[in-house]
Amino acid sequence: MTDITGQIGLRRFGTTPIARGIEWATDSHTHHVVTAVSPTMCVSAEPGGVRYRAISDYPHLDWSKFDLSREQKQLIINAAHEYVTRPTPYNLAIYPPLLFQKLTGHKVDGWVAEWLSRRPNENCSQLSDDIYNKAGIHLFPDIAELVTPGDFERYYLARGWL
């Protein structure tokens, strides 16, 4: 088994109404994003907060293929640990702006986006992006606010990872 430590996993093709709703709202087939902190564990933002989860808890994940150094992996692990060890509630406030984006076709920006990005709350895709940012790896330099599971899927597609 390849060491996936530091890689980002996408959970795609949901079967529940919530998973399908997220996929619909983000114009993608992805409804959840996690970051591996070891070959068997990941960090996940979900209702109830940010927590460690066994990778085996997810039936199938499509993993990124970043060429990470040992130092980068350690920075990712450290950043993930910060979110798990401090109270980090789930970011339910992201759902109305995502619905707005889907219905109007306009990216949420301005004060709403700034407010969402300053909140201590995290949703799954925001968490993975924030972990990478803390590790000095900036995946979405043109997206300062709402990073969605669909943004990660499009990132993977552009690199031929899906």
Q: Is the pLDDT of residue 54 over 80?
A: yes
What's residue 66's pLDDT? 97
What is the pTM (predicted TM-score) of this model? 0.91
Q: Is the pLDDT of residue 144 over 60?
A: no
The three-class DSSP label of residue 107 is coil
Residues 65-80 have a mean pLDDT of 97
Higher pLDDT, 149 or 116: 149
Give the distance, in angstroms, between the CA of residue 33 and the centroid of all CA atoms in the same chain: 4
Stretch (H or E) spanning 130: helix 124-134
Is 138 exposed, middle or buried (CB count within 10 Å of its CB: 0-12, 13-18, 19+)?
Answer: exposed
Query: In this structure, are residues 5 and 77 in contact, taking their beta carbons and an 8 Å threshold?
Result: yes
Q: Is the pLDDT of residue 142 over 70?
A: no
